[in-house]
Structure 1
Amino acid sequence: MDKKIEVGENAGLVAEVLDFVSGGNLLKVSGRAYPSGEVINNIEVAKKFAWDEVYGSDEYTWADLRSDKMSEIWSVIYDGESKYADVDNKLSGVLSEMSREILSQLDQQHKEFFDDIVSDLKGCLYSRAVLGRSNKFFENIFNIYQSGGWPCGWKGEWPNGHMISYYIN
């Protein structure tokens, strides 16, 4: 995977995400401190938080919350006057290879997380390309992945609260 994608001043931050993906450490506890938030070790409970629970008075699903945060990044990329207009073209060229790398690291039990993981790490990639480290939501997601977890839900009344992360026992 080409880790030198020219996206301006944040190219090194983008490369860090790509390095992580190609490093083979997905869902492997790394020894890094767990980010703040709730940690669970039961895969069935994790799937319930990720796919069934709703959060906040607007009753967003976890996918809705992630999509909402991603829309903030798309608005920066496509605001009409953005210097990031070509970022999507540059980054989309690595998404297929990134997806293959992710799939190759998932055991049978965790393959159903594939779409969520690709979406999360794509969000981290794009967020870092246009916002550096300033998007705390995607930075927290990336930190959870780096520590060996899978961000799977939200605890508290959105947007107040914290992420829930699944870690393999």
Structure 2
Amino acid sequence: MKYGHYHNQVKEVIDFSKTFRVVTSDDISYFTKIINDKEKAKYYAFEHVFGEDEYTWNDLRENEMSEVWNKYYELVDGQKPQNLDMILDIFSENVRSATTEFNTIFEDIVADLNNCAINRAVNGKIDNFFEKLFKIYKAGYFPCGWDGDYPNGSFIALYIYAEKTIFKK
């Protein structure tokens, strides 16, 4: 199945979702605050609000994704990536096979990877929110929040290969 001009970059996200093996040694510390507490990660992911507008982590991801969709809709038909509606099912199946948890964390991981792939299908591999999100996953972390007043601040990420991993080895 082809995904358009940036097919290989989309495929990289799909391939990663099959194993969740750490595939990079990129330094994410300059844009990420690392935590090791799963309960804190759930708090940041689902309850914490930040900034003047009192955004949640979900609000921030949805706002960023709306920018990607706006760019998609500005493309002429011949430039639009194909088969984007199919990749959500692919991520759902891949993540279900790789993770030991089937709850809202599972849903967030599927949504994050789907959004990273769609971002790449539309924008290519550029330095933006979703590319950084994907770097966090590739480094072995679960992005779960924002620390600061967006866009100032940093991602918050849980180290997922700690004692109680959420992924199968």
Normalising by structure 1, we get a TM-score of 0.85
Q: Does 1:100 align with 2:93?
A: yes
Return 131-140 or 116-125, whichever deviates more: 131-140
Of residues 7, 28, 43, the one that matches 1:11 is 7
- How big is the shift at 1:135? 4.7
Contact 1:29 1:167 in 2 (8 A): no
- How big is the shift at 1:111? 4.0
Contact 2:3 2:121 in 1 (8 A): no
3-state DSSP class of the match of 2:83? helix
The structure 1 segments of at least 4 consecutive aligned residues displaced by more than 3 Å after TM superposition are: 28-31, 80-85
Matched to 1:144, the amino acid is I
Q: Deviations over 1:114-160 (max 9, x none)?
A: 11111111110011011112251001100011111110011111111
Contact 2:24 2:138 in 1 (8 A): no
Contact 2:3 2:10 in 1 (8 A): no
CA separation in 1, counterparts of 2:118 and 2:24? 26
Matched to 1:19, the amino acid is D
RMSD of Structure 2 on Structure 1 (CA): 2.0
Normalising by structure 2, we get a TM-score of 0.85
CA separation in 1, counterparts of 2:69 and 2:22? 31
Matches within 5 A, 1:99-138: 99-108=92-101, 111-138=103-130
Matches within 5 A, 1:1-169: 4-8=1-5, 10-22=6-18, 24-25=19-20, 32-36=25-29, 37-79=32-74, 81=76, 83-85=78-80, 87=81, 90-108=83-101, 111-168=103-160, 169=162
Matched to 1:59, the amino acid is E
- How big is the shift at 1:29? 5.2
Unaligned 5+ residue runs, structure 2?
Answer: 163-169
CA separation in 1, counterparts of 2:46 and 2:151? 18
3-state DSSP class of the match of 1:78? helix
The 3 A distance-change label for structure 1 pair 81 and 94 is closer
Contact 1:38 1:165 in 2 (8 A): yes
Matched to 1:52, the amino acid is E
Return 90-99 or 144-153, whichever deviates more: 90-99
Pairs aligned (count): 159
